[in-house]
Amino acid sequence: MRLGFAVLFALCVLVLGAAHARADNVDVLIKDLKSGSDYKVRLSAALSLAKLGDKRAIPGFVFALSDSDKTVRGAAAVGLGKLVDASTSKAQRGQVIGALERMIAKESSDSVKKQAEKSVQIIKAIDADGGGGGSAAPATSVYVDIGPMSAKAEPAAKLKALMKRITEKTFGSKAKMMMIAWPTGKSPSRKDLDAKKVGGYHVDGTLTEVVVKEKGSAATVSCKVSMLIATFPEKSVFGFLNGGASVTASSDPKDIALATEDCLAAVVEDLVAKKIIPTIKIKAGIP
């Protein structure tokens, strides 16, 4: 049985800390990343290359975004977020963003997709900052921390991941002036935000109810979502928002499951686009 990506990632980082001799051979590691017969070899190479920080590995990481193993794809996405910085040419940054976005569009793993989306945000922040260093002041005055979400319905893990993904996607398309990933790749502290004169906000939500009403071969799926807005990092709540919707489907369990996801996605997107983003704009003084 394979270990989960996060656990495997952490274990490999610890194990590879002692592999200095092998990790210094960048060319060999890139070859292993691209053609290693065992996914463990490819993953080991990806983690070592990310740790070394040698920009020769960037094309190798782009290649590995289409690896057959999700842990390798995730490590490659993380590696690109670490290696690509202001010293990387604008053309190569664009190529990397394009490769990550293509990978995100077809990626089946939510955890890998999240890593890739975070790297895209980090790299795009470089251009937004005028090409300055990855830890320089962002061009925006707002950073939004998106919470883990929660769901009072099954499958909870899948529905929570969907809520978070739709929230991130909506901010990315409707509020490009707001950052949902800090340039360093880690959540900023109050000191970090104050130093860059950036306001911090926190958004989270809960799927509070899913009701399925069947009538013959048809079914109606209704869902209700509650979302909150708070300051960040203090998380002092100043706004509660609620929304709901209904979706019709056949009474087939698979169709009902898909209808539940469609209902949830529609409500979250509507709340974020029409209520949360405008509220944060007002609070932050953004026209």
Tens-digit pLDDT profile for residues 96-109: 999 999 999 999 99
Residue 180 CA to residue 128 CA, distance in Å, equals 13
pLDDT surpassing 70 at residue 3: no
Confidence at residue 191, expressed as pLDDT on a 0 to 100 scale: 93
Confidence at residue 52, expressed as pLDDT on a 0 to 100 scale: 86
CATH of 137-287, one of 2.40.50.100, 3.30.160.150, 3.40.640.10, 2.60.40.2470: 3.30.160.150
Average pLDDT score over residue span 2-6: 38
Compute φ and ψ for 183, nearest 5 degrees: -55, -30
According to CATH, the topology of domain 1-136 is Leucine-rich Repeat Variant (1.25.10)
**Which tens digit of pLDDT belongs to each residue from 200-219?**
999 999 999 999 999 999 99
Average pLDDT score over residue span 27-42: 90
Confidence tier at 2 by pLDDT (50, 70, 90): very low
Q: Where exactly does CATH 3.30.160.150 map onto the chain? A: 137-287
More confident residue, 17 or 111: 111
pLDDT surpassing 80 at residue 115: yes
Compute φ and ψ for 229, nearest 5 degrees: -125, 135
Question: What value does the CA radius of gyration of the chain take, rounded to a whole number of Å?
Answer: 21
pLDDT surpassing 60 at residue 4: no
Residue 25 CA to residue 44 CA, distance in Å, equals 13
More confident residue, 12 or 88: 88
Average pLDDT score over residue span 224-229: 97
- Within 13 Å and on the Cβ side, how many CA atoms surround 47? 23
**Which tens digit of pLDDT belongs to each residue from 242-278?**
999 999 999 999 999 999 999 999 999 999 999 999 9
Residue 93 CA to residue 23 CA, distance in Å, equals 25
Q: Where exactly does CATH 1.25.10.10 map onto the chain? A: 1-136
DSSP string spanning 222-276? Answer: EEEEEEEEEETTT--EEEEEEEEEEEEEESSHHHHHHHHHHHHHHHHHHHIIIII
Counting residues of the chain whose pLDDT is more than 90, the rounded percentage is 64
The three-point CA angle 100-165-126 to 5° equals 45
Confidence at residue 140, expressed as pLDDT on a 0 to 100 scale: 62
Confidence tier at 130 by pLDDT (50, 70, 90): low
Confidence at residue 185, expressed as pLDDT on a 0 to 100 scale: 78
**Which tens digit of pLDDT belongs to each residue from 131-185?**
544 444 445 689 999 999 999 999 999 999 999 999 999 998 899 889 998 877 7
DSSP string spanning 169-187? Answer: HHHHHH-TTEESS-TTSSP
* Model pTM score: 0.57
**Which tens digit of pLDDT belongs to each residue from 43-77?**
999 999 988 888 999 999 999 999 999 999 999 99
